[in-house]
Amino acid sequence: MTEFTILPAVDLMDGQAVQLVQGVAGSQKVFGDPVVAARRWQDEGATWLHLVDLDAAFGRGSNADIAARIIAELDLAVELTGGIRDDDALERALATGCARVNIGTAALERPDWAAAVLGREPERVAIALDVKDGQVAARGWTSQGGDVDQVIDQLTAAGCQRFVVTDVASDGMLAGPNLELLARVADRTDAKVTASGGIASLDDLLQLRALADRGVDAAIVGTALYLGHITLPEALELAE
């Protein structure tokens, strides 16, 4: 059976761990010290962490010091994302020792740069596709970046080995993942797919697990863990 990975999420805003609803600034639920949150997921068995700098994504600041501390102090493979739009930001992110970075807006606005990055760091760079109404959303989900199928085709041709796919309408809503969208992306590309957005229950994870052989081999879980709808040990057991 294809391996399936659970990535608990720690989203950083104003130095706190938060969860947004549909990516809307001001909708956040605050969950306190992000280092404590990350350590909790490690203690409960996580091997990967999805770490998001929301202030960097929205272009209004940075939580780089907190991200670096989490990466340095914990024994987790960290997927780091948020505001990585040029070589300087990419190098700073990779220098933290994270296992992988996600590039979102820049892959849409600077496709030649993204292709060059994928050529240099194919194992350490994934492309984040945040999808809203059939379009890829950019700039912290505040603008549109093109038709999702066209973007997938272009970035697959450029050498993308992993897409992190978020259904904006589902994110933070605990309404279930968009299985149709995830299957559509997985069937369109040879790249692996990480599912993000809407996961609310173990049944949701079971349905995602069933897509593993088609290429959906990982899932990011945020709000459901923080609110106790899912426990991480249960999720990890199911994934195995």
Active-site positions read 11, 130
Q: φ and ψ at 111, to 5 degrees?
A: -60, -35
Q: Is the backbone of residue 80 left (phi > 0), alpha (psi -120 to 50) or beta?
A: beta
d(CA 139, CA 214) in angstroms, rounded, equals 30
User: Sign (positive/negative) of CA torsion 195, 201, 206, 207?
Assistant: negative
- Which candidate, 17, 92, 37, 88, places its Cα nearest to that of 232? 37
Residue whose tokens read 């608990």: 8
SS3 label, residue 144: strand
Inter-CA distances, 131 with 28, 31, 64, 188, Å: 20, 26, 26, 15
SS3 label, residue 18: strand
SS3 label, residue 44: coil
Q: Is the backbone of residue 236 left (phi > 0), alpha (psi -120 to 50) or beta?
A: alpha
Concatenating the DSSP letter of every residue in 162-185 gives EEEEEETTTTTTTS---HHHHHHH
